[in-house]
Structure 1
């Protein structure tokens, strides 16, 4: 934490006011987004910084949860204040909250929203990337998954296209997780080369199940290694059985990259 002077203008009002904050973070030092009793999380650190800045308890609600070691280039959370922030002071406030946050978490935007706006329930699309590389690189350690052999990208993309034909993805949901539905609407799933050494899986949907992306990538990599034909994806999804899918890949290469809202 840094010692900084906090000066900005508040206008007192009777009702609370809701704000969205956009952040990015390197997830290596954190046990995911959501607050846990005995582990450091991104939400915990963010709440502490905002509470210190506003001199009142702040409890954020995130657009979703990320697992231990997973990164985000864009994540939104909302929180309420018992006062209105003057728009002209928001750039200064962002500077001040960034001074309170550690170097691996950055506050990017702060937005006033409607009182009933919800960071989780109002999101219409979420996008993830999963990064893999094929040559040892110390600068990618913890940020990408190192694979020894280059898989068959065409086969993986053929299998990824099959995902768009289904809505029930129980086979990719973490076991013993309480969810109301396994229905997700995937709109994009594709592997693309970032450079000669890096391959990135891009996937977008209205929502994702816990551990879903890592299980999908594990299944696709098995297909890319020739263990199954691309059509095997039909069998996996239709089984609705987590044991039919591939193993979950490490969290290192996973990034939440975009969260979309109808009013942002």
Structure 2
């Protein structure tokens, strides 16, 4: 099918992370461990970091082989100057290259009240211009940024006229889409589904394709708009595949029943193109219990 937008790749600076140790020297490099570092039995305090970043010049969240610049790499580089660090601080959402975040969450465990105070005081000031630590808070024992999350909320932003101030975080649409058809197409997407058709094929894991999509809403105000989608979990590139497919509905190339058909098909080839990364932002990660930002350990 023809695309509604040009093929776009993330603009990256090409800079490499110059941290003291390569990624392979850390434990849980793939973030599969449920540990946040030190164990609660060791008397450590779990910290919850809330951060925002402009993903344009990053090769994604997760540390990459070869030292490519990533958000996680920047966090590690700063933390190594503040606390003993034996494991990689996990992220709640492993955003791809070029994807932004305003509410990403990470976690780590530190050994003493003095180190808690040091991280709270110093870490926000050590970030590069395209990363901001919005909060460093004490979390409940056993908290893990990824595995404790109950839901994640993303926004994909659009604009319908060329604006240099929006080019890094909005997808420019060359024509006004049929918004009513797009909204109608989103209705059957909400619910519990096997989302095989909405996952990057190379990343599919058998038995791990079920998602509970809690909300999918399209909002437009004049020349800008966004798709907001919330689910208990997302598969690789899932939001961007939803967006690419939805835009084909808006262009009249697909019917309003397209997501019902895709869910039944369980075939990525039946879905639309993967939308470019720069319009996507991780807005919020939702947990059962909020962190106690005022507590000191």
Under a length normalisation based on structure 1, what TM-score does the superposition of the two structures give? 0.89
| Residue of structure 2 equivalent to 1:251 | 277
Check whether the contact 1:35–1:41 (CA below 8 A) recurs between aligned residues. yes
Q: Distance in 2 between matches of 1:29 and 1:122?
A: 29
Give the gaps of 5 or more residues in structure 2. 1-40, 291-297
Show the 5 A alignment for 1:1-264.
Answer: 15-38=43-66, 39-54=68-83, 56=85, 59-85=88-114, 89=117, 93-179=119-205, 180-193=207-220, 195-264=221-290
Q: Distance in 2 between matches of 1:165 and 1:114?
A: 30
Give the gaps of 5 or more residues in structure 1. 1-12
Q: Distance in 1 between matches of 2:149 and 2:186?
A: 23
Q: Distance in 2 between matches of 1:262 and 1:14?
A: 24
| Residue of structure 1 equivalent to 2:29 | none
Which structure shows the higher strand fraction? 1
Residues 175-228 of structure 1 show CA distances to partners (whole Å, capped at 9, x for unaligned) of 1215341100001101101x3111100100111001000000111100010001
SS of the aligned residue for 1:22 comes to strand
- Structure 1 residues 225-234 or 21-30, which shifts more? 225-234
After the TM superposition, which parts of structure 1 deviate over 4 Å for at least 4 consecutive aligned residues? 55-58
| 1:252 to partner: Cα distance | 0.7
Residues 71-129 of structure 1 show CA distances to partners (whole Å, capped at 9, x for unaligned) of 00001111111223487x47xx4452122110110001112123311111111110000
| 1:167 to partner: Cα distance | 1.3
SS of the aligned residue for 2:203 comes to coil
Q: 1:116 to 1:94 in 2, by over 3 A?
A: closer
Q: Distance in 2 between matches of 1:37 and 1:21?
A: 24
SS of the aligned residue for 2:226 comes to strand
Number of residue pairs matched?
248
Q: Distance in 2 between matches of 1:205 and 1:252?
A: 20
Q: Distance in 2 between matches of 1:129 and 1:207?
A: 15
| 1:34 to partner: Cα distance | 0.6
Check whether the contact 1:58–1:80 (CA below 8 A) recurs between aligned residues. no
Check whether the contact 2:150–2:232 (CA below 8 A) recurs between aligned residues. yes
Q: Distance in 1 between matches of 2:129 and 2:158?
A: 25
Report the RMSD for the aligned CA atoms in angstroms.
1.8
Under a length normalisation based on structure 2, what TM-score does the superposition of the two structures give? 0.79
